[in-house]
Structure 1
Amino acid sequence: MTEPTTGLDLYTATARRASATVIEAYSTSFGMASRLLPSGMRGDIQAVYALVRVADEIVDGPGAESGLDGAACRDVLDALEREVERAIATGFSADLVVHAFAETARRVGIGAEHTAPFFAAMRRDLDPVAFADERELRDYVYGSAEVVGLMCVRCFTAGRRLPDAEARRVARGARALGSAFQVVNFLRDLGADADGLGRAYLPGLDPAHPTDAAVGRVLDRLEGELRIARATIPSLPPEARPAVLAAHDLFAALARRIRATPADELPRRRISVPRGEKAAIVARAAVGAGIARAGLARQRGVVAEPVRGLAR
């Protein structure tokens, strides 16, 4: 953002900094990948991530740990959704995370078609989950993850309208990448979801006793989604491609580690990619980021911003 010139500008800049602290605290992977974005676009993605994370935390434990029962958590989630809707309509919220999200949403074209399915999926997590078929799973994944990918596309395109065929292609890739991210997390968190939260998201896969065959089928599907997403990255604006590629490659590396792990270990072990390997993956994408930004800077007559802090 430009240097604040009004009280609202200062408040919005402060809200965006607050959102940046959320992604730094909660996600090494997304935090690293987002550093490959130009500063303004990075702030928009951080605003989306922060709101999604706050909603997720309401249903994933901290609310209950504070003493709220299920009904109270639902009330808090409903109030958050109402505040998001009001802030998008008015341009202001006393909640810094909501304000940052609403400012981004109003500027890039995020609306109720994105936020309503997301909050509906979050409400689903307030009750025990045991999806019996693919339709239930796909409906949930669309709201919890695919629409987040579509929000990110709005941030990348800054509200610019793409030709219809290109827009469909980009949307398909964004949905596929969001779905793959979500399903990788289902596999990584099998034990915690089942034992701590009463959730069994994956039909045909017993979270307490997963088999190699069942896990393999899930991985086959999500790796297919990663391939779809990877093929559509060239359709994104050039300045967004390195960060999306880094995020894709980070989760592809996690999927490979899960595939290499015996299925019966997954409920007892949370698989992760070592920080050094993450840094190397992002650094490879950063090389492309530097080239892309230098080219864009020459075209626009500005100085490209260097990529910093990859090993943090």
Structure 2
Amino acid sequence: MIVATNSSFTQFTRTAERAANQVISEYSTSFGLACKLLGPRHRQHVRNIYALVRVADELVDGVTAEAGLDYQEQCDALAHFIDETHRAVKIGYSSDLIIHAFAQTARAAGIDGSLIDPFFDSMRIDLGERDPVPATSLRFDADAHRGYVHGSAEVVGLMCLRVFMRGQDIDEDVSAALQHGASQLGAAFQNINFLRDLADDTARLGRSYLCTADHLDDKDRMEWVGTIRAQLADAAVVIPLLPHDARAAVRSALALFSALTDRIEQTSVDELYRSRVRVPDAVKAGLTARAIASTWMELHR
């Protein structure tokens, strides 16, 4: 339980948390599995963060359009979601269950506009709000890619880091290292997802997050694999600096996405444009077990 001021508020917050948990169970088995490895003091907070960013992402990735909203109505829906998030973080309450759950976490962990605003800026880019017409053919050069990934993924890693480190007095150099690692891990996860989701991003959404051209080639794919491996390596270095009850979960998530990168490396770019690569459940279970074992050994040396 995250916050309690009276019985009605407690019940409402618990209901909001259950709603956040349902979002994870519906949308991400890998993230849900990693969350289970977090210590109890972190677990619900991270689920609350995931739920908010997932709902926002779905809003700009077609749910509102499929619901029959025209372009302006989609923009209005995003604006309302953003405004309600900021309001809830300020006052500690929202009638929207997912936003309410996130607000409890944001207030407890010190997640503020410096992380929330860049995330929503990236959501606006997906929706094409900065153009006079809807974005139907987004193309990202290196600078645009860097800015988008910071908002859509790096800040999410930094939100989770604030959860893990809340209430702790840490050295400035350690803090800088942890922030770099969290940003790199978020960027790696996003870039992996871009490669894995080439088919859907291109065919359904008309977006090219990894280049200004309409189509990657195998050379591009391998260059991105190299970038991702470097980002994952940077993130792995700082895992021992995390609290004990966060390390196994982060190691597990890193291992799962590293395995996904291995499979992407072995898959032609033409195949990536046709189907979505995944890691089998049995492999996920093995990687998770190794992450738990590695963390246990680290803590009992």
Q: Given the alignment of the two structures, is residue 130 of structure 1 paired with residue 138 of structure 2, yes or no?
A: yes
Q: Which runs of 5+ in 1 are unaligned?
A: 296-312
> Contact 2:57–2:123 at 8 Å: present in 1 too?
yes
For 1:164, the aligned partner's letter is E
What's the % identity of the aligned pairs?
44
Correspondence for 2:279 among 273, 277, 285? 273
User: What secondary structure, in the 3-state scheme, does the structure 2 residue paired with 1:268 have?
Assistant: coil
> Contact 2:188–2:231 at 8 Å: present in 1 too?
yes
1:1-312 matched pairs, under 5 angstroms: 1=1, 6-126=7-127, 127-203=135-211, 206-207=214-215, 210-288=216-294
Instruction: Please report the RMSD computed on the Cα atoms of aligned residues, expressed in angstroms.
Output: 1.8
The 1-side partners of 2:298 and 2:49 are apart by 24
> Contact 2:48–2:102 at 8 Å: present in 1 too?
yes
Q: Provide Cα deviations, 1:209-252, integer angstroms capped at 9, x if missing partner.
A: x3211100111111100000011111111110100000000000
Name the count of aligned residue pairs.
292
> Contact 2:178–2:238 at 8 Å: present in 1 too?
yes
> Contact 2:89–2:107 at 8 Å: present in 1 too?
yes
Q: Provide Cα deviations, 1:15-66, integer angstroms capped at 9, x if missing partner.
A: 1121111111110100001100122311000000000000001011111111
The 1-side partners of 2:146 and 2:3 are apart by 43
The 2-side partners of 1:20 and 1:132 are apart by 33
TM-score (norm 1): 0.89
User: What secondary structure, in the 3-state scheme, does the structure 1 residue paired with 2:21 have?
Assistant: helix
User: What secondary structure, in the 3-state scheme, does the structure 1 residue paired with 2:245 have?
Assistant: coil
Q: Aligned in 2, Cα 1:3/1:216: closer, same or farther, shift over 3 Å?
A: closer
Bigger drift between 5-14 and 23-32 goes to 5-14
For 2:181, the aligned partner's letter is G
Q: Aligned in 2, Cα 1:132/1:18: closer, same or farther, shift over 3 Å?
A: closer
User: What secondary structure, in the 3-state scheme, does the structure 1 residue paired with 2:277 have?
Assistant: coil
- Runs of 4+ that moved beyond 4 A: 2-5, 288-293
Bigger drift between 258-267 and 159-168 goes to 159-168
TM-score (norm 2): 0.92
Q: Which runs of 5+ in 2 are unaligned?
A: 128-134
User: What secondary structure, in the 3-state scheme, does the structure 2 residue paired with 1:103 have?
Assistant: helix
What is the Cα deviation at residue 291 of structure 1?
A: 6.5
For 2:152, the aligned partner's letter is S
Q: Aligned in 2, Cα 1:65/1:137: closer, same or farther, shift over 3 Å?
A: same
> Contact 1:18–1:96 at 8 Å: present in 2 too?
yes
For 1:27, the aligned partner's letter is S
